[in-house]
Amino acid sequence: MAKYYICLDIGGTKVLGVIFNSKREIVYRVKKKTKAGGDDSQNIENTIISLVEQLISEYKISIKDVAAIAAGAPGVINIEKGIVLFSPNLPWRNYEIKKAIEKKFKVPFFIGNDVNVGVYGEWKYGAAKGLTQVVGLFVGTGMGAGLIVDGKLFTGHLDKGAECGHMVLDPEGPKCNCGQRGCLEAFSSKQGISDYIRTQAARGRSTSMAKAVEKGVFKSKALKAAYDEGDEVTVEAVDRACHYLAIGIGNLINTFSPEMVVLGGGVMEAMGGVFLEKVLKDVDRYCMPSIRDTVTIKAAALGDDSILYGALAMIDDMLKKEKDKA
């Protein structure tokens, strides 16, 4: 009987993979960089396959020991069919990844929107465990969201819902990778912060982050270092990102009246509480006091592993559904 589960966090710049044992413990992990530019969807698929093969080989197990593989990835995803309909930070359009991975490994493969999956992980195993109404926002290369409504993961019609990172906060704001202007993601994600710093550097302003954003998005550690040293452009970029993040959170609090807002993602993790502190100072201006009074805003408890634990929970749910159908 298969006793291991492989879970993946597929991002715009990397794929993180782990092996869980039957006790739901992470026993091995591997990270690989991705090159997500252009239209090379095959490159991402090859990276995923290579990472899974490396996990199996280095941990010295067989694919027959693996019950299932699951992943979270950015974008609009048909969970039932395992098709990535659109991803703003990966070259995938109507991409049948489930079919490709199952053909290669001959084990069940499941995939969902990365932050839907990450919030699900925080709800099952982390900061929001035991609650029934939860909003989650993850600040990474992009900006994703997840919703737990009445004790269930809410994904909307055809799994296209909960794209809160693409709520438009300024219709004349910076262009987002989704094609709109002024999305929360365009202001507060790694991509948005990088674009702002790059624009200021191009205008002749001095910043220690100029090289870090020259060819794309920065590494989160570089942002924290520049912020701590008081780099003017970096501090400005972080303040701007947190300002718009607070506006977005305020709108979500007014809309859903959650018990908790969970903030996660690589930028949140790397900044060591800076984002959370700034959001908490600002968010009350953008939501109704009578609703805000009953909402807790917390950092994700599982850190970089939120999506991985959510993928594990997805495996449990999907295998149970398949068993019930049989």
The fourth-level CATH superfamily of domain 4-117+305-325 is ATPase, nucleotide binding domain (3.30.420.40)
Going from N- to C-terminal start, the domains of the chain cover: 4-117+305-325, 129-300
Which H or E run contains 145? strand 143-149
pLDDT of residue 170: 96
Those residues with Cβ within 8 angstroms of residue 308's Cβ, 6 or more apart along the chain or in another chain: 7, 8, 9, 16, 18, 20, 26, 121, 302
List pLDDT tens digits, range 174-207. 999 888 999 999 999 999 999 999 999 999 999 9
Cα separations in angstroms, 27 against 6, 17, 24, 80, 124: 10, 11, 9, 28, 19
- 129-300 CATH: 3.30.420.40
Listed as ranges, residues in the chain with pLDDT below 70 are: 1, 35-41, 89, 326
Supply 148's token pair.
């737990």
Give the predicted TM-score (pTM) of the model.
Answer: 0.88
pLDDT of residue 326: 65
Supply 196's token pair.
């702002």
pLDDT of residue 189: 94
How many residues appear in the chain?
326
- Residue 12 backbone dihedrals phi, psi, to 5 degrees: -70, -20
Those residues with Cβ within 8 angstroms of residue 134's Cβ, 6 or more apart along the chain or in another chain: 119, 122, 123, 128, 146, 147, 148, 258, 259, 260, 261, 262
pLDDT of residue 35: 64
Is there a contact between 89 and 191 (Cβ–Cβ < 8 Å)?
yes
pLDDT of residue 90: 78
What is the spatial distance between Cα 227 and Cα 206, in angstroms, rounded to a whole number? 14
3-state SS of 98-140?
A: HHHHHHHHCCCEEEEEHHHHHHHHHHHHCCCCCCCCEEEEEEC
Is there a contact between 260 and 276 (Cβ–Cβ < 8 Å)?
no
Same fold, 4-117+305-325 and 129-300: yes
List pLDDT tens digits, range 202-235. 999 999 999 999 878 888 889 999 999 999 999 9
Is there a contact between 271 and 234 (Cβ–Cβ < 8 Å)?
no
Is there a contact between 218 and 209 (Cβ–Cβ < 8 Å)?
yes
pLDDT of residue 33: 85
